[in-house]
Structure 1
Amino acid sequence: MAKKKIVHLLHSIGGVDVYLRLILENIKTDSFENIVIHGTKDTEKPFFDEKGNKVKEYRVSIFRDISIFYDIKSLFQTYKILKKEKPNLIHAHSAKGGIVGRITGKLLGIKVIYTPHAFSYLSTDSSLKRKFFMSIEKFLANGNSLLLATSNSEKKRAIDEVGYKEENAIVFNNCIEPIIKMNLLTIQKTWPDEYICTVGRPSYQKNIEKMIRVLYEVNKEAKIHLIVMGVGPVSNQLESVKNLIVELNMGNEVTLLDWTARTDVFHIINQSKFYISTSRYEGMPYSIIESLALSKACIVTNCDGNKDLIIDNYNGFVIENEDVKGFKSKILKLLTDKELLHKLSKNAFNSYSENYNIKKNIYELESIYLK
Structure 2
Amino acid sequence: MKILIGMTRSDTVVSGSFKHICQIGERFRQEGIDVTYVLGGDGSAAQALEQRGYRVYKLKNLRRDLNIWFDFIALLQLIWVIFKVRPKICSWHTAKIGALGRIASVLTFRKNYYVPHGVPFVNTPENRGYKKFQLLERILAFLPGTIVGVCQFDKNEYLRIGVPDRKVKVIYNGMAGRKKIHGIAERPRGTQVKFITAARFEVQKDYVTLAKAVEKLHESGANFSLDIYGDGQMEAEVKSLFAALPPEVITFKGVVPDFSVKLAESDIFVLSSHWEGLPRSIIEAMACGKAVIATDVGGSRELINHQLTGYLVPHKDVAALHDCMRTYVEDKDKISQHGKNGFNNYFINFTLEKMLDRYVDEYFGGEYGGVESQGEVA
**Equivalence for 2:120:** 120
Consecutive unaligned residues of structure 1, counting only runs of 5 or more, are: 181-191
Deviations 1:56-106 (A, max 9, x none): 332223223334333222111110121233322211110121011111112
2:104, 2:22 → 1: CA distance?
Answer: 23
2:251, 2:154 → 1: CA distance?
Answer: 32
Three-state SS of the structure 1 residue aligned to 2:169 is strand
Contact 1:146 1:168 in 2 (8 A): yes
2:169 paired with 1:170: yes
- In the superposition, the TM-score normalised over structure 2's length comes to 0.84
1:142, 1:254 → 2: CA distance?
Answer: 49
**Equivalence for 2:22:** 21
**Equivalence for 1:187:** none
2:77, 2:124 → 1: CA distance?
Answer: 29
Identity %: 23
Residues 211-290 of structure 1 mapped to structure 2, 5 A cutoff: 211-221=210-220, 222-230=222-230, 232=231, 234-236=232-234, 238-246=235-243, 249-252=244-247, 253-261=249-257, 263=258, 265-290=259-284
Which deviates more from structure 2 when the two are superposed, residues 53-62 or residues 340-349? Answer: 53-62
2:41 paired with 1:40: yes
2:162, 2:32 → 1: CA distance?
Answer: 33
Contact 2:36 2:54 in 1 (8 A): yes
Q: Partner letter of residue 341 of structure 2?
A: N
1:341, 1:97 → 2: CA distance?
Answer: 40
Q: Partner letter of residue 311 of structure 1?
A: N
1:196 positional shift: 0.4
**Equivalence for 1:150:** 150
Q: Partner letter of residue 59 of structure 1?
A: K
1:311 positional shift: 1.0
2:256, 2:277 → 1: CA distance?
Answer: 22
2:54 paired with 1:60: no
Which deviates more from structure 2 when the two are superposed, residues 114-123 or residues 279-288? Answer: 114-123
1:179 positional shift: 5.7
Number of equivalences: 348
2:320, 2:144 → 1: CA distance?
Answer: 44
**Equivalence for 1:10:** 7
**Equivalence for 2:287:** 293
1:194 positional shift: 4.2
Contact 2:151 2:278 in 1 (8 A): yes
Q: Partner letter of residue 353 of structure 2?
A: K
Contact 2:94 2:115 in 1 (8 A): yes
**Equivalence for 2:209:** 210
Q: Partner letter of residue 166 of structure 1?
A: D
Relative distance call for 1:251 and 1:142 in structure 2 (3 A) is: farther
2:28, 2:233 → 1: CA distance?
Answer: 32
**Equivalence for 2:184:** none
Relative distance call for 1:155 and 1:220 in structure 2 (3 A) is: same
2:227, 2:155 → 1: CA distance?
Answer: 32
- In the superposition, the TM-score normalised over structure 1's length comes to 0.86
Deviations 1:106-129 (A, max 9, x none): 212222210111222349736863
Three-state SS of the structure 1 residue aligned to 2:28 is coil
1:292 positional shift: 0.5
1:273, 1:30 → 2: CA distance?
Answer: 37
Q: What value does the CA root-mean-square deviation take over the aligned residues?
A: 2.6
Deviations 1:168-227 (A, max 9, x none): 1111111122269xxxxxxxxxxx964201101232211111101011122233132211
